[in-house]
Each structure stands twice: as structure tokens, then as C-alpha cells.
Amino acid sequence: MTMTVSVVLVLGVLVAVALKFRAVGVGAFILVALFGFSLSETDASPTITQFIGALSDVVAGIGN
């Protein structure tokens, strides 16, 4: 029996574990960067882009 697991899922779990144990270093940076690049190629990319845009609008509006 062959099982396939999405790279995004695996990297997401690894990033969550790294954040849980407060692993901050070069390895964690590479892990998060790979997760970001993998996530950018999924169907979630437009939603994440819209969220980041909305969040930046909120932060920009705080000073006004």
C-alpha cells in the first residue's frame, strides 16, 4: 500500500513543532522558508495574499 502526504502538510507540521519547542536557528529559518514557498504553490495562495493585504491595511490605518 502506498501513501502520499503533501509536502505542505509535512512542512506545516514541522514548522508547528519547531514553534512549539521554540527552535530558533538556521534550521528553523530554512524550514519556515520552505513551507512558505510550498504554500505559495497551493490553492491557499490567493486567500493568504488577501489576508496579508487586509492585515497591512489594518496596520496602516492604526496611525491615522
> What confidence category does residue 54 fall into, taking pLDDT thresholds of 50, 70 and 90?
confident
55: its cell numbers:
492585515
Cβ pair 27, 7 in contact under 8 A? no
Q: What are the pLDDT digits (tens) for 8-45?
A: 777 778 878 877 887 666 677 777 777 777 777 778 77
What distance in Å separates the CA atoms of residue 64 and residue 43, rounded to the nearest whole number?
A: 34
The whole-number pLDDT of residue 23 equals: 67
Q: Where are the alpha helices (DSSP H) in 1-64?
A: 7-20, 26-39, 45-62
pTM of the model: 0.48
- What is the maximal distance between C-alpha atoms in the chain? 59
